[in-house]
Amino acid sequence: MDRESFTTILGRLHIDAVPILNTNYVWIIRHADHEGAYLLDPGDAAPLKRHLTQNNLALKQIIMTHSHWDHINGLDEMLRWKKVDVIGPECSVIPQVTTPVAEGSRFQLWNNVEVQVLHTPGHLPEHLCYYLPNGNQPVVFSGDIIFSAGCGRIFNGTHAELYNSLQRLNALPSHTQVCCSHDYIMDNLEFAKHVEPDNPYYQERIKSVILRKRMGKAAIPTSIQAERLINPFLRCGEKSIQQSVKRFSQESNHPLGIPTNDLEVFTLLRDWKNQF
């Protein structure tokens, strides 16, 4: 079944997810009390222009997380369609950024919705996540750092950087909604179930995801609390994960050897997922 756009309502924020390319979702942020919309990472312009036009939404700004092609390829076309400010990391691959932001930066949407910028390297050095406290309904736009039941690959970074970036997201309030850029949950859950077969939450989550997929719906957003239960990359301190990773290290004769701390568990786990 073809993927469809859908909307998540968090208080006065209405967040549209528009499918693009093969696996990406672009998040478009609207507000019940204000006109216009903000969008993140336009990897393909045509479906985004169509969504904005059909919903009579004026584009206010574009927000970038990082420089991979599937996040930036539609940026020039969007700017030809509507010249707006581009917020994002200072990065030579995204010269279209007009307002560079970095760790600790803050800005506002509609002059009253605060956005906090988190520098989250590991996938790429410049990667940023955007956290909106949004009263008591927080949301984070996590790009390619965390996915439901998984995490991004390391392209130009280190295991330590990606581990620390995930820990930063894990420290957010448990009810924070996580708007990631891809829905890889079925593949991720297969790996998670393989690593931690006795975790009862995996089968429960698989059943709910299958139902959603049959209806053409995505399994995102997720939440920090949900990921603490089903995401092995946030569970490196659990004995069940540690024992499974230890077996993998022994059976694969991994050069890291037997892990002695959570970072080494994470390193082996990420390498294991690459081979899975």
Segment 229-236 shows an average pLDDT of 97
Containing 142, the helix (H) or strand (E) segment is strand 139-143
Helix (H/G/I), strand (E/B), else coil: 32: coil
Q: Answer yes or no: is pLDDT of 1 > 60.
A: no
User: Domain coordinates of the chain in residue numbers?
Assistant: 6-235, 236-276
Expressed in percent and rounded to 5, the helix, strand and coil fractions of the chain are: 35, 25, 40
Range in 38-52, 94-108, 182-196 the model is least confident about: 182-196
Tell me the CATH number for domain 6-235: 3.60.15.10
Supply the pLDDT for residue 124: 98
Please state the separation of Cα 118 from the chain's center in Å.
13
Q: How much is the pTM? A: 0.96
Containing 24, the helix (H) or strand (E) segment is strand 24-31
- Rg, the chain, Cα only: 19
Q: CA distances (Å), 127 to each of 88, 122, 190, 226, in order?
A: 9, 8, 27, 23
Supply the pLDDT for residue 213: 77
- Return d(Cα 38, Cα 44) in angstroms, integer: 15
In the chain, pLDDT over 90 holds for what percent of residues? 91
Tens digits of residue pLDDT in 115-159: 999 999 999 999 999 999 999 999 999 999 999 999 999 999 999
Q: Answer yes or no: is pLDDT of 219 > 90.
A: no
